[in-house]
């Protein structure tokens, strides 16, 4: 498999695309105005304890209080061990660590109550495990985990595990022996996928770095008031290098010289062998255009996805679940109806696995395949879907197909999906449909100007936009407009036109 990591850096946002055999399979975006919180560590205060839900709300300084479930509470850990017995406590965690790579936050429900552990006004150190989604606040845990490139440090747990993606048993055993011989008593570690084949020296160096980082976090937390940000996770560029730049990725291409230098400095510390695989993109064509990513992203916002055979799938997202419908469309087949249906369903199964990963859709998912009379055909479609989903790093659970062609599955929801990030509810139709968000349109205009100025001479650029877009360009995005003017050495004039649709704009080169 030929995998590539493509990074597009602009003053207003950074976009990361993971390509497999030339197709975008994962997409990440971080905007300066909307940066996420996952991985950040806060010194917070318990705002409310809810015995009925066995949870608490914690004020960490964000717009909404964070949600902390009882099994994510670390306080009085020694008391927990006495109540459970050390052996059972270890088994509960080890069962999870051998199947999950990161954030081992959940284990067998303990026999203690939230009201015995926390009280209103109590100060607590927590880490964001899940960003705010919709109307829900962030999900936090007091079981801190600090990911490096090879290891994840878990300072609150005296356990170790190996990523489930390292399947070779001899390698798993080797890594466990190395880590157990090096780790200090009382500290837990997980060997990440990138740790496969790593030397003991490399593992020890990263272990020492993570332990030093944890010591610094503890010192900083002691000095800060409540609520405060104690530690901020890496930005998306270095997170992509840390989490996605594995042995499967043949090269990383980035279009920013400062980002390129930061990446080189980062891998010189953690993964010097990757340096030859890092490239600085210098062509005039925008990097996402050159790799065909922009076209794929625009398709990923559509409800209807056409299959090569002529069939198609429809993807509908609701508050409760995601519904996917498979149709034969233009495909009529050449032989029997059952063969036509089977071919469409098999092709759809692969495409659905791809779309779920690309769009990062999570929660309950119902797939309505075309009805098949033959039970062996239903089994073939189920196996095809299960095999196609294997490359997805997000945890999934798939149930077998029913007699009427339905498959129920779940996919862990760990961040907003692509549609929610790039779009917002349509005010023209009172929320029945959706439009691209104002910020997405602003940045689309910036990219188009960057693309077209190569072929247009002159000193001035007039941008005609809807008043709502014009207001954002004049206010929130004024700094980025100035940066664009300086980089292109051209004056940009924003002209509001009420007659334009929100998504319409015109660019004139003077």
Question: Kind and range of the H or E element at 162?
Answer: strand 160-162
Same domain? For 394 and 477 the reply is: no
Q: Which structure tokens are listed for 162?
A: 């190996």
CA-to-CA distance for 504 and 211, rounded, in angstroms? 52
Domain edge (last residue) among 383, 418, 453 = 418
Shared domain check, 261 and 217: no
Domain termination site, one of 181, 200, 231: 231
Asked if residue 244 is part of any domain, the answer here is no
Residues 261 and 158: beta-carbon distance below 8 Å: no
CB contact at 8 A, 460 and 507: no
Q: What is the pLDDT of residue 89?
A: 30
pLDDT digits (tens, 9 = 90+) for 309-339: 888 999 998 878 999 999 988 766 566 788 8
Residues 340 and 332: beta-carbon distance below 8 Å: yes
End-to-end CA distance of the chain: 47
Report the pLDDT averaged over residues 262-284: 90
- 61 and 194 part of one domain: yes
Among the ranges given (75-89, 169-183, 353-367), the one the predictor scored with the smallest mean pLDDT? 75-89
Residue 421 has pLDDT above 90, yes or no: no
Q: How far, in Å, CA of 354 to CA of 390, rounded?
A: 11
Average pLDDT, the chain: 87
Q: Which residue has the higher pLDDT, 210 or 429?
A: 210
Kindly tell me the number of DSSP H helices and DSSP E strands found in the chain: 15, 26
Looking at 418, 448, 466, which one is the last position of a domain?
418
**167 & 262 share domain:** no
SS3 state at 133: strand
Same domain, 206 and 150: yes
**CB of 357 within 8 A of CB of 394?**
yes
493 contacts 474 by C-beta, under 8 angstroms: no
- The domain tally of the chain equals 4
Task: Say yes or no: 405 and 282 in one domain.
Answer: no
- Residue 383: give the domain boundaries: 300-418
Helix or strand run (H / E) with residue 467: helix 467-474
pLDDT digits (tens, 9 = 90+) for 151-177: 999 998 888 899 888 889 999 999 999
Dihedral sign for Cα atoms in the order 62, 105, 412, 408: negative
Angle at 159 between CA 412 and CA 230, to 5 degrees: 70
**Is 431 within a domain?**
no
Asked whether residue 69 falls in the same domain as residue 205, the answer is: yes
Residues 327 and 446 reside in one and the same domain: no
Residue 276 lies in a domain: yes
Residue 328 falls inside a structural domain: yes
Sign of CA dihedral 391, 397, 400, 402: negative
82 pLDDT more than 70: no
Q: In what order do the strands lie in the sheet with 151-154?
A: 146-147, 151-154, 188-191, 160-162
Residues 277 and 306 in one domain: no
**88 within some domain:** yes
- Domain holding 146: CATH number? 2.40.50.140
**Co-location of 330 and 360 in the same domain:** yes
Binning pLDDT at 50, 70 and 90, where does residue 268 land?
Answer: confident
| Same domain for 215 and 88 | yes
The CATH number for 264's domain is: 3.30.420.60
pLDDT in tens, 202-243: 899 999 999 999 999 999 999 999 999 999 999 999 999 988
The CATH number linked to 469 is 3.40.1260.20
Q: Computed from CA positions of residues 234, 239, 243, 247, in that sequence, does the dihedral angle turn out positive or negative?
A: negative
What's the predicted TM-score (pTM) here? Answer: 0.77
What are 362-372's pLDDT values in tens digits?
899 999 999 98
Whether the predicted pLDDT of 103 surpasses 80 = no
Q: Is the pLDDT of residue 456 over 60?
A: yes
426 assigned to some structural domain: no
SS3 of 80, please? helix
Cα–Cα dist 109/73, whole Å: 12
For residue 438, the Cα-to-chain-centroid distance in whole angstroms is: 22
Across 296-316, average pLDDT: 90
Within-domain flag for 203: yes
Please check whether residue 320 lies inside any domain of the structure: yes
How confident is residue 131, by pLDDT bands cut at 50, 70 and 90?
confident
Q: Are residues 84 and 219 located together in one domain of the fold?
A: yes
């Amino acid at each position: 498999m030929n995998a590539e990591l493509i990074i597009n850096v602009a003053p207003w946002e950074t976009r990361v695309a993971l390509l497999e055999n030339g197709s975008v399979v994962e997409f990440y975006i971080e905007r300066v105005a909307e940066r996420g919180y996952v991985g950040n560590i806060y010194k917070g205060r318990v705002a409310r304890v809810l015995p009925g839900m066995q949870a608490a709300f914690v004020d960490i300084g964000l717009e909404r209080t964070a949600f902390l479930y009882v099994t994510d509470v670390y306080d009085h850990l020694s008391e927990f061990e006495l109540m459970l017995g050390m052996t059972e406590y270890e088994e509960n965690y080890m069962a999870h660590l051998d199947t999950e790579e990161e954030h081992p936050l959940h284990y067998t429900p303990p026999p203690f109550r939230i009201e015995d552990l926390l009280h209103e006004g109590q100060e607590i150190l927590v880490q964001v495990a899940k960003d705010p989604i919709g109307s829900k606040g962030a999900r936090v845990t007091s079981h801190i985990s600090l990911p490096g490139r090879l290891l994840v440090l878990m300072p609150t747990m005296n356990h170790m595990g190996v990523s489930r993606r390292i399947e070779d048993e001899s390698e798993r055993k080797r890594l466990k022996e190395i880590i157990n011989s090096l780790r200090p008593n009382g500290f837990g570690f997980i060997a990440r996928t990138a740790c496969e084949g790593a030397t003991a020296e490399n593992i020890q160096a990263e272990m020492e770095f993570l332990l030093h980082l944890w010591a610094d976090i503890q010192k900083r937390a002691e000095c800060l008031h409540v609520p405060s940000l104690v530690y901020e996770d890496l930005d998306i560029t270095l997170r992509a290098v840390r989490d996605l730049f594995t042995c499967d990725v043949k090269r990383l291409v980035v279009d920013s010289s400062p980002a390129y230098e930061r990446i080189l400095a980062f891998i010189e510390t953690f993964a010097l062998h990757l340096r030859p695989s890092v490239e600085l993109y210098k062509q005039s064509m925008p990097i996402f255009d050159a790799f065909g990513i922009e076209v794929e992203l625009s398709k990923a916002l559509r409800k209807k996805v056409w299959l090569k055979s002529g069939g198609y799938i429809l993807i509908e997202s609701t508050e409760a679940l995601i519904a996917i419908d498979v149709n034969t469309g233009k495909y009529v087949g050449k032989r029997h109806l059952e063969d036509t249906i089977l071919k469409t369903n098999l092709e759809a199964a692969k495409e659905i696995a791809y779309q779920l990963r690309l769009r990062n859709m999570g929660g309950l998912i119902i797939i309505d395949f075309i009805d098949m009379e033959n039970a062996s055909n239903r089994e073939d479609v189920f196996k095809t879907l299960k095999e196609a989903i294997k490359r997805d790093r997000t945890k999934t659970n798939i149930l077998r197909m029913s007699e009427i062609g339905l498959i129920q599955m779940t996919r862990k929801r760990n961040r907003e999906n692509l549609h929610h990030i790039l779009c917002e509810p349509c005010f023209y139709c009172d929320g029945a449909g959706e439009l691209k968000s104002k910020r997405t349109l602003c940045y689309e205009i910036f990219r188009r100007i960057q693309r077209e100025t190569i072929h247009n001479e002159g000193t001035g650029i007039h941008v005609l936009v809807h008043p709502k877009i014009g207001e954002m360009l004049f206010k929130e995005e004024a700094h980025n407009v100035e940066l664009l003017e300086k980089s292109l050495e051209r004056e940009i004039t924003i002209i509001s036109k009420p007659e334009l649709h929100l998504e319409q704009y015109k660019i004139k080169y003077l």
